[in-house]
Amino acid sequence: MADVRRAEKRKQEIKLRLAQERLELNRAEAGHLLAMAQAERERGDFPAAARDAKKALVLSPDLPEALDLLGQMYFEGGHYTESLWYFTQLRKQSSDPAIMFDVAQVLARLGRKQEALKEYQAVLQALALLKGPRVRGLKADTLAAKARLELEITVAKPGAESPAPAVVAATLPKPAEKLPLAEPEIPRVRVEFLPAAPPVLQNQPTGSLTDYFLRRRFLELRMAQNFEDLLCLGSLNGVDTYSYQHDTVRKVLRHFKGRALLADEVGLGKTIEACLVLKEYWTRGMVRKVLVLTPPSLVSQWKGELVEKFGLAPASPDGPDFRAGPAKFWTSESLIVASLGMARLEPHASILAGIAWDMVIVDEAHCLKNRTSANWKLINSLTKKFILMLSATPVENSLMELFNLITVLKPGLLSTEAEFKKQFVTAGKPRSPKNPERLRSLLSDVMIRNTRSVADVRLPHRIASSIVVAPSPDEAEVYDRISGLVSSLHKSNTGPPMALSSLLRQAGSSPHALCRSLGRAMREETWAGPKEKRALGEIQDIASRLSGSRKGDQLGDMLASHAGKTVVFTEFVPTLDHLAEICQRRSIPYARFSGDLSRPEKDAAITRFRDDVAVLLSTGSGGEGRNLQFANTVVNFDLPWSPMRLEQRVGRVHRIGQTREVFVFNFCQEGTIEEQLLRVLHDKINMFELVVGEMDAILDSFNGNLEENREFAGVVLDLWASHDHDEGRVRAFDELGERLLAAKAQYLDTRKLGESLFERDFEV
Amino acid sequence: MDITAWAKDLLVSRGALVEGQDGDSFRALLPDEVSQALGSSDWLSLRFGAVAGADDPGEWLERLGQLVPSDPRIVNARLRRMPTAPRIDAIAVLDRELAIQNGIYRFVEDYSATSVYYLFSFFYTVESDERSTGVVNVWLNPEARSVVAQPVGLLRLIEAELDPTSDLNIDSKSIDGFYRIAAGAARIGVLGSITALETSANRHMARDAERVRSYYGSMLQQIEKRIAKRAADPEAAERERGRAHATVLDRTAKLEDLFRKHSLRVQVSLTDVLRVALPVRKISVRLIRKKEERLRDFHWNAVLRQLDMPWCDQCGGIARPLFLCEAMHCLCKTCSVGCAKCGRAFCRACQSRCKCGAPA
- Which amino acid is located at A347 in the chain? P
Using a CB-CB cut-off of 8 Å, the residues of chain A touching B315 are none
Strands B330-331 and B264-289 come out as: unpaired
Strands A462-469 and A662-669 come out as: parallel
Neighbour-count burial for B227-244, b at 16+ CB within 10 Å, e otherwise: bbbbbeeeeebbebbebb
| Per-residue pLDDT at A759 exceeds 90 | no
Using a CB-CB cut-off of 8 Å, the residues of chain A touching B167 are none
- Can you say how many angstroms the Cα of residue B340 is from the centroid of all Cα atoms in its chain? 26
DSSP string, A527-575: S--HHHHHHHHHHHHHHHH--S-HHHHHHHHHHHH--S-EEEEES-HHH
Evaluated on CA atoms A403, A406, A411, A413, the torsion sign reads: negative
pTM score: 0.57
| Per-residue pLDDT at A741 exceeds 90 | no
Which chain A residue lies closest to B58 (C-alpha atoms)?
A: A225
Cα A560 to Cα B198: distance, rounded to the nearest angstrom: 48
Over residues A411-450, the pLDDT tens digits come to 888 888 888 888 888 877 777 778 778 888 888 888 998 8
At B323 the three-state DSSP class reads strand
Measured from the Cβ of residue A383, the count of other Cβ atoms closer than 10 Å reads 13
Could you tell me if A638 and A505 are in contact, meaning their C-beta atoms sit under 8 angstroms apart? yes
The residues, ordered by sequence, that sit 6+ positions from B136 with a Cβ below 8 Å of its Cβ are B121, B122, B124, B186, B189, B190, B193, B268
Could you tell me if B193 and B214 are in contact, meaning their C-beta atoms sit under 8 angstroms apart? no
Verify whether the Cβ–Cβ distance A204 to B179 is below 8 Å.
Answer: no
Could you tell me if B339 and B209 are in contact, meaning their C-beta atoms sit under 8 angstroms apart? no
Verify whether the Cβ–Cβ distance B73 to A147 is below 8 Å.
Answer: no
Cα A173 to Cα B227: distance, rounded to the nearest angstrom: 13
Q: In angstroms, what separates the C-alpha of B50 from chain A's closest C-alpha?
A: 5
Across the interface, of A171, A215, A228, the residue whose CB is closest to B69 is: A215
Q: What is the mean pLDDT of residues A166-195?
A: 60
Query: Across A173-182, B42-51, B231-240, B300-309, which has the greatest mean pLDDT?
Result: B300-309
- Say what the pLDDT of residue B351 is: 82
Cα B350 to Cα B352: distance, rounded to the nearest angstrom: 7
Which chain B residue lies closest to A190 (C-alpha atoms)?
A: B263
Chosen for mutation from B74, B213, B230, B268 (greatest number of chain A CBs closer than 10 Å) is B74
Using a CB-CB cut-off of 8 Å, the residues of chain B touching A224 are 1
Measured from the Cβ of residue B68, the count of other Cβ atoms closer than 10 Å reads 18
Strands B73-79 and B264-289 come out as: parallel
Cα A434 to Cα A399: distance, rounded to the nearest angstrom: 10
Could you tell me if A509 and A708 are in contact, meaning their C-beta atoms sit under 8 angstroms apart? no
Over residues A184-227, the pLDDT tens digits come to 777 788 899 988 888 887 777 788 899 999 999 998 888 887 77
H or E stretch including A462?
Answer: strand A462-469
Say how many Å lie between the first and final Cα of chain B, rounded: 43
Could you tell me if B141 and B52 are in contact, meaning their C-beta atoms sit under 8 angstroms apart? no
Using a CB-CB cut-off of 8 Å, the residues of chain A touching B248 are 179-181
Which chain B residue lies closest to A165 (C-alpha atoms)?
A: B231
At A441 the three-state DSSP class reads helix
Cα A532 to Cα B300: distance, rounded to the nearest angstrom: 82
Verify whether the Cβ–Cβ distance B199 to A285 is below 8 Å.
Answer: no
Over residues A608-627, the pLDDT tens digits come to 888 889 999 998 755 455 66
CB-side neighbour CA atoms (13 Å) of A497: 12
Could you tell me if A338 and A268 are in contact, meaning their C-beta atoms sit under 8 angstroms apart? no
DSSP code of residue A636: E
Q: What is the ipTM of this complex?
A: 0.88
Verify whether the Cβ–Cβ distance A184 to B213 is below 8 Å.
Answer: yes
Across the interface, of A194, A220, A223, the residue whose CB is closest to B265 is: A194
Cβ-Cβ contacts under 8 Å between A and B: the total is 220
Could you tell me if A525 and A759 are in contact, meaning their C-beta atoms sit under 8 angstroms apart? no
The residues, ordered by sequence, that sit 6+ positions from B294 with a Cβ below 8 Å of its Cβ are B286, B287, B328
Verify whether the Cβ–Cβ distance B196 to A196 is below 8 Å.
Answer: no
Could you tell me if A370 and A404 are in contact, meaning their C-beta atoms sit under 8 angstroms apart? yes
- Say what the pLDDT of residue B210 is: 83
Query: pLDDT confidence of A43, banded at 50, 70, 90?
Result: low
Verify whether the Cβ–Cβ distance B248 to A176 is below 8 Å.
Answer: no
Using a CB-CB cut-off of 8 Å, the residues of chain B touching A385 are 50
Which chain A residue lies closest to B173 (C-alpha atoms)?
A: A202
Considering only residues A43 and A414, tell me which one the structure prediction assigns the higher pLDDT: A414
Residues in chain B: 360
Nearest-CA neighbor of A138 among A129, A149, A127, A147? A127
Query: Across A225-229, A258-262, B217-221, which has the greatest mean pLDDT?
Result: A258-262
Verify whether the Cβ–Cβ distance A189 to B198 is below 8 Å.
Answer: yes
H or E stretch including B283?
Answer: strand B264-289
Query: pLDDT confidence of A691, banded at 50, 70, 90?
Result: low
- Say what the pLDDT of residue A742 is: 83
- Can you say how many angstroms the Cα of residue A655 is from the centroid of all Cα atoms in its chain? 10
Nearest-CA neighbor of A108 among A143, A154, A161, A153? A153
Helix axes A113-128, A133-156, angle to 10 degrees: 150
Cα A321 to Cα A336: distance, rounded to the nearest angstrom: 13
The residues, ordered by sequence, that sit 6+ positions from A345 with a Cβ below 8 Å of its Cβ are none
Cα A161 to Cα A607: distance, rounded to the nearest angstrom: 60
Which chain B residue lies closest to A214 (C-alpha atoms)?
A: B10
Nearest-CA neighbor of A248 among A223, A230, A267? A230
Verify whether the Cβ–Cβ distance B135 to A454 is below 8 Å.
Answer: no
